[in-house]
Structure 1
Amino acid sequence: MSAKKMIATAMLIISGNAWASMCPVNVENDVLLTQNGEVKVEKSQDKLRIDQDGRVFVNGKELQLTQKQKEAIERYQQQVSAYIPEIVDFTDKGIAAANDFVSEIETSFDAKGSFEGVKTKIDEYGHTAKQKFYQGKDMVLEHDFFKEVDTTWKQDFEVMMQSMDKELFASVFNSLSLKMQEGELNFTELQQQFADVQVKIKEKMKQHSTEMKDEAQNLCDSAKGIAQDEQQLHQLIPELQAYPVFSI
């Protein structure tokens, strides 16, 4: 499962709104953040590189910058360097929300260990999602990152959630059925407990919806701020106009 699908899960499961209607930002080209703080914008065979000292290279040729241009580059590099880890952190929070969701159900049924299959699947999704944010040791934010949430991501999300729903509720039903067979519950009590858990599920989903929607809005606001600064940067250094990252 790709990082795109995991982010789609986090966004769509906690928000009924389409991302495009919520945030008008797009990622125009792949942008990489290296371990030593370099920022690279890759466009076909062309490449813009801002090294850890703030020097700017276009296809390997260093640009000679004025002091004002250097200060603008430093500010932009700091913004991008902070933003990409925030996207990864948002993925972590989506994974944590999913685990919290399952733990709530497990606790409600007093059925510790009954949902290991679901937890394992969530962990697998999370691990794969995190790996997709890396090219070697570099962190990467791919082009059209936000735009595709409302297209192919949504389809992938729906397929994944159908699979998760089946496994989750199969675990719920098996747990309650076992209790009924062992005499801990009669059929009426089984129905009531199942109904009670459904209420708790909705409450937990609503809680995470509010939290994650706020996180998504913060990410959008940050991206819009970077996009506006990037426009000013391109006016100040015209050579960078061919390497846009964030755009509105």
Structure 2
Amino acid sequence: MWCKKIHSLVAIAALSVGVMSSGVVMAEQMPANACPIDVHQELHLDGKNVKIIDKHGNAAEFQADNQLIIKGKAVLLSSEQSQQLQDYREQLNTVVPKAKEIAKSGVAVANEVIDDLSASFNNTKAFENVRSAVASYYDKLEKRYYQNGEMVLKPDAFKDVYQNWSKDFSQAKEVFNREFFASAFTVLQEKMKSDKGVDFSALQQQMAQLQVSVQNKLKQNSKQVKKQAQQYCDSMKALSKQEKGVVATIPELKNYQLFEI
């Protein structure tokens, strides 16, 4: 019986490794130049205001009341300049933070897998520690780009994301596998103690079917992520084009361009 139990745990572990390894492979294959757009100044966004800080520590602030402050001094704007700056400020606060949606899609598919696995054990709470581990890891990554309620991107922020992608997924895989295996072991122990016991042959078959289902989910998620990433890149290109128009109209912003230096 213990031999069968071990075989079942191995099957579950294989499922766990398969789920996260597929994510790691996709991450490692993502090219560093997937999108040619990056920010070249420090950028702060809070949903309403924008602050751009150059390499010397000087700041340009686009305020919610359409004031432009450069190096602590207000810049007088015409109605046309004010409107262009407002549109640009609003677009920055809308478009740039959408990067979070791509990351959240990965969390969503992980939660779907956890739901399916819990259902296979007829125990909706069996893998809540795995769900918590996934959420905690996402929060950890999010804090890398958020400070005091603001989204803060350092120069070359997107290049940094690509360079750390594989490392981040490897760490996520380690956390996921550890919690996944511990939960599975606990669930099997509880089932062993129950009156019905465990049908190990049926369980192994369930795990094989679930693995196929998970792989299909990952393929669909991969397509969705690629689509989202392309849409995000296109939006960033549009921002870069919009910035050129703003700088042409407001020359004082020449040294505070995000996309062109």
TM-score, length-scaled by structure 2: 0.77
Query: Aligned pair 1:212/2:228, yes or no?
Result: no
Number of equivalences: 237
Q: What is the Cα deviation at residue 39 of structure 1?
A: 0.8
Residue 71 of structure 1 corresponds to: 83
Whether the aligned pair in 2 keeps the contact of 1:14 and 1:212 (CA below 8 Å) is: no
Query: Aligned pair 1:240/2:253, yes or no?
Result: yes
**What one-letter code is carried by the residue in structure 1 that aligns with 2:49?**
E
Q: Whose radius of gyration is greater, 1 or 2?
A: 2
- 1:239, 1:115 → 2: CA distance? 55
Whether the aligned pair in 1 keeps the contact of 2:51 and 2:59 (CA below 8 Å) is: yes
Q: What is the Cα deviation at residue 132 of structure 1?
A: 4.0
Q: Kindly report which structure 2 residues correspond to 1:127-138, keeping only aligned pairs within 5 A, or say none.
A: 127-138=139-150
Structure 1 pair 13–234 and aligned structure 2 pair: CA distance change class (3 A)? farther
Give 5+ residue unaligned stretches, structure 1.
1-8
Q: CA RMSD in A?
A: 2.9
Give 5+ residue unaligned stretches, structure 2.
1-19
SS of the aligned residue for 1:147 comes to: helix
Q: What is the Cα deviation at residue 119 of structure 1?
A: 1.4
Residue 4 of structure 1 corresponds to: none
- 1:14, 1:216 → 2: CA distance? 17
- 2:91, 2:31 → 1: CA distance? 22
Q: Kindly report which structure 2 residues correspond to 1:103-182, keeping only aligned pairs within 5 A, or say none.
A: 103-172=115-184, 175=187, 179=191
- 1:21, 1:65 → 2: CA distance? 37
Q: Kindly report which structure 2 residues correspond to 1:82-101, keeping only aligned pairs within 5 A, or say none.
A: 82-101=94-113
SS of the aligned residue for 1:20 comes to: coil
Whether the aligned pair in 2 keeps the contact of 1:25 and 1:247 (CA below 8 Å) is: no
- 2:46, 2:167 → 1: CA distance? 32
Query: Aligned pair 1:39/2:40, yes or no?
Result: no
Equivalent residue for 1:52, pick from 47, 52, 64: 64
Structure 1 pair 103–113 and aligned structure 2 pair: CA distance change class (3 A)? same
